[in-house]
Amino acid sequence: MDLLIQFLTNTGFYLADYRNIIMLVVGGVFLYLGTAKNYEPLLLVPIGFGVLVGNVPFFKGFGLGIYENNSVLHYLYFGVTSGLYPSIVFLGLGAMTDFSSLLARPKLMLLGAAAQGGIFFTFVCALALGFLPKEAGSIAIIGGADGPTSIFLTAKLAPHLIGPIAIAAYSYMALIPVIQPPIMKLLTTRKERLIRMPEMRTVPKRERLIFPCVAVFLCCFMAPASIPLLGPFFFGNFMKECGVTERLAQTARSSIIDIATIFLGFTVGASTQGDVFLTPKSVGIFCLGAIAFSIATGSGIVFAKIMNLFLKEKINPLLGAAGVSAVPGSAREVQLMGQKEDRTNFLLMDAMACNASGVIGSALAAGVLWSFMV
């Protein structure tokens, strides 16, 4: 009888409190959004299920929890805290990115730079709300609209906030179709939305091959702290473009990135415990995340309008919204917004150029923030 009582008191049913229940509901919501509504399923499904698994109540000391040494989840979580999974994801991203459109129109890179203004604006806002500088840096990187970058920087600066920041970052990436279009419409006129981009030149293979070498040299020399992200990113791209390592590039952009995404999402979800997630800080993080996204979108658009004051060949300002790193969601929204005004206006390739630039810009900003905070 004693044994039975001991067993029952160790079950999750006995140990559960209201915070576990709430987090289980949150995990269920993510699963629903990912599976039924198809909102970023590759991210929300692992995160959602991770939240479910990570918030099952258990008796501490058995080596079960994600924060307990020698537990399976803890070993898997190492990839998050060390920044390993984001680096691997970036390797795969580089192997699937085509920089031709960016190489054909290099001035679009400036829109990617401008969109990172959301990061620094949010940094100041987070400090104003009373967050510590490292916490503010982690929250601000949500404005880069890049999940792996957000997780990487948060793991380095404020690992206790990984859960809410990752969930905020991925949630807002999934909500791009909701967040960006009103801002794009507010900041542009119909005449500007109708601007057509001229046809791009064909970029030869040699340029696409030299670009990752030049880019890694320039970016990593400028901000060495961005090496863990930009190094694998451009390596993956080089593997793709050189043509002699197609097998490796194919593996990087399929199996490797998928494995990293599964473990990244699952362990981030599992690390999101009620005592950290259900706090006023999380509300602040979610609010600041929305600000970061909005300002990033707006600053890209406004910068494009400023550039048009000096350019003979005008840029469609909608492209500024694609300067955030949310590939390919924001590029898709730019294309859709452009086509709403003119069905024959195809902005997708130019928007992808801005997207690619945003990936580089957000990784660079993360490296800069990390080097400032260390």
Partner 1 sequence: MTGLENISAHNGWAIVCVGVSIVVSGLATLSFAIAQLHKLLGLWDNRRNLFQKFKNRKENMESQETPVLELSLDVQENIRNFKLLTAKIGDPFSLPKLIEYSEKCGLKSPLSTINTLLTAKVIVPDGNGYFKWFN
Residues near partner 1, by CB under 8 A: 102-103, 106-107, 109-110, 112-114, 116-117, 119-121, 123-124, 127-130, 132-133, 136, 203-204, 206-207, 210-211, 214-215, 218-219, 222-223, 357, 360-361, 364-365, 368-369, 372
Q: Does residue 48 contact residue 36 with C-beta atoms inside 8 Å?
A: no
DSSP assignment of 49-113 equals HHHHHHTS---TTSS-STTSTT-HHHHHHHHHHTTHHHHHHHHHHHHH---HHHHH-GGGHHHHH
Q: How far is the CB of 305 from partner 1 (least distance, A)?
A: 17
The residue (of 119 and 257) whose beta carbon lies closer to partner 1 is 119
**ω into 224 cis (within 30 of 0):** no
Nearest to 263 by CA among 95, 75, 90, 34: 75
Residue whose token pair is 């959301």: 118
AA letter at 176: I
The residue (of 193 and 208) whose beta carbon lies closer to partner 1 is 208
Q: How far is the CB of 334 from partner 1 (least distance, A)?
A: 19
**From CA 67, how far away is CA 250, in angstroms rounded?**
34
Q: How far is the CB of 218 from partner 1 (least distance, A)?
A: 5
**From CA 162, how far away is CA 266, in angstroms rounded?**
13
Task: Write out the two tokens for 223.
Answer: 């901000």
The residue (of 12 and 204) whose beta carbon lies closer to partner 1 is 204
Q: How far is the CB of 87 from partner 1 (least distance, A)?
A: 20
DSSP assignment of 114-154 equals HHTHHHHHHHHHHHHTT--HHHHHHHHGGGGT-HHHHHHHH
The residue (of 41 and 224) whose beta carbon lies closer to partner 1 is 224
**From CA 317, how far away is CA 354, in angstroms rounded?**
11
The residue (of 184 and 220) whose beta carbon lies closer to partner 1 is 220
The residue (of 167 and 354) whose beta carbon lies closer to partner 1 is 354
Residues 6+ apart with CB under 8 A from 189: none
The overall longest dimension of the chain from CA atoms, in Å, is 86
**From CA 137, how far away is CA 366, in angstroms rounded?**
8
Q: How far is the CB of 192 from partner 1 (least distance, A)?
A: 22
The residue (of 28 and 133) whose beta carbon lies closer to partner 1 is 133
Q: How far is the CB of 83 from partner 1 (least distance, A)?
A: 20
Q: How far is the CB of 335 from partner 1 (least distance, A)?
A: 23
DSSP assignment of 249-267 equals HHHIIIIIHHHHHHHHHHH
The residue (of 143 and 317) whose beta carbon lies closer to partner 1 is 143
Q: How far is the CB of 121 from partner 1 (least distance, A)?
A: 8
Nearest to 118 by CA among 140, 89, 134: 140
